[in-house]
Structure 1
């Protein structure tokens, strides 16, 4: 009898008794990893010495220190206590933090102009109030006090001269190389007459025509379209025609819901205009309340870009236009990608059931077309499908047909997913053996 086996059993028994018993696994009720399993991250990013040197150079270039001339000017304006407070604040702020963390604003409330606030803008800023000492120095000839800019209404002669001058300036913008000399054909003559008429109309609506001043800076301020909104004491034209011409021809009244939707999707208005939007179901619904029957309208709308995106949205409101807008915004917000085989049909046959409605979709060869009922036809066209057939053997409720078709198109089983689930490798046989020359 060998002694190895009893010794081995003895050693195993002693080691098992010495080790602590394993704790049973605890069930976690959230997806966050337990604290021991988390990877500890450093509080501050690790920066190499060479990168830190480059960062210091960039920070010194962007935010240089004050020179002696600037400190001498500051000492004339601030008290010693204020200068000490400014130096203490500057010592606390690190230029590297300003360089790495400081950035220009990109939010919708960004100011429409850049200004370092070192000069007084006659359009956006009010004139500075001068003291009696400034007025006395101006009377002595020091020219430190700027009097208030004055203007008055122009007479007929000044108005005609201003119209001629401004019309010439506008016409020179349309013809920078000068008016073409020699004979012009009928088309060029018509364009030239339209340009003259547009220049005269713009000159007649210009504020510099209505008001006159000796100071040329006042004329520049009057030519700025922002002066009436930012500085009310300057003159403004309050007729209907001038108000309508201030708005650009491409500018539209913006819907706040559309603005939020564009920010959510990170799109612009051109992407929104290229969508194919159509309302397929419209009917009235009635809600019985203690105050009686309240009628409202229900809308079901689809939206797609014709290139693999499709969405369905619903809206209901007492006002027809409001309910339709709700359905359109919901359809655009609910757009989801539709997998397409060769960008023309589905990946195999699909079947979906919603309520009592069952929809069956069948993929078809190239050139087959869309041989489906009109609701599925609109959905397929909005999604960018070209070869498809469908059947609805059971109930044909419009709402359920649209929802079942949309869910069937969105939840297709792709070949690569099937191959991954089976642990296989997917190979495009047409590309390998036929060079992609057959369908």
Structure 2
């Protein structure tokens, strides 16, 4: 392709000898686009641009919503505040632009907003604590004196009994108590004694009972009173106790199936050992989900394995946990520490070999078998996986091997023999 034609297009006005310097470059160059240059555009908007600042809309709205203090309001403030406080209020009003409050501020409309617009000059019983009173606030025309040891002990006993009566309106529980009730009662008694020692009635006394009654004001106590609880409908719906648990339909069904209570279920230890993604090919495409394999055991001879799969990760994990708890089986343990003899199990291409070991040997196995043995309550064990080490097959083979042990009683009964324990003879009565 020749470059002569583009050159002639660009320098059509020039000569072959010397190219004169053009007066205006834009007039001698052929434009590369059809869009006119910015100076050549003479478009005007169809409507004039109107700004909000020109109409003073913000100023009008800010003045109407946040007006300045009037003369009467200033006189009322001067009666309540000192001149230095009045100067601080004026400086704060001058520093804050009402337009900024209008554009950047926002009035709360949620159900949890305060039911009033407060200037923070009054004490609210819900959000604020009452001011503490000192000995200077006691009535001047009443005489007080410090208590002696016997009066102090009697006052502490009386105040502690009053506090316990508030904590237990039906009376302090007596008789046989479970550990939880005993702990709660002990904590309540300690709190009542602490509050009684800090109560001013244990330090000061008077001959006039009405004079002593003035010290019962909680504002004289060093202990802050608890905030009152809200009793409206919205607060009751949103309030949730710390020890309250959300009812799970799976857990409720599981407890009915096992015949347990929640306390027994808390003693089960679960652990997810295998997590990976799976894909199901359907006519609608590939459906991806998560697979979970979980073990469950109480550490005292119960062991279970469960699987779960779902598109939602949390749903699949819960399925595996429930399945593991439902499938728990008793694991025979020799001396509650190891297995009966040597075991071997094969699942797919995976073979697991388990060996019983003497006391103190420990769990010298791979991590998957270690978790299974710890959940079942085994302490001395050795294992080998000579073939495939697929995680799912290793767990299933170990679980089946532990559940299908041949006990010495069964072997003796099949041979028509009688099983006799001679450990007390050979070990001198020392049986682990």
- Bigger Rg over Cα: 2
Q: TM-score, normalised by structure 1?
A: 0.49
Q: TM-score, normalised by structure 2?
A: 0.50
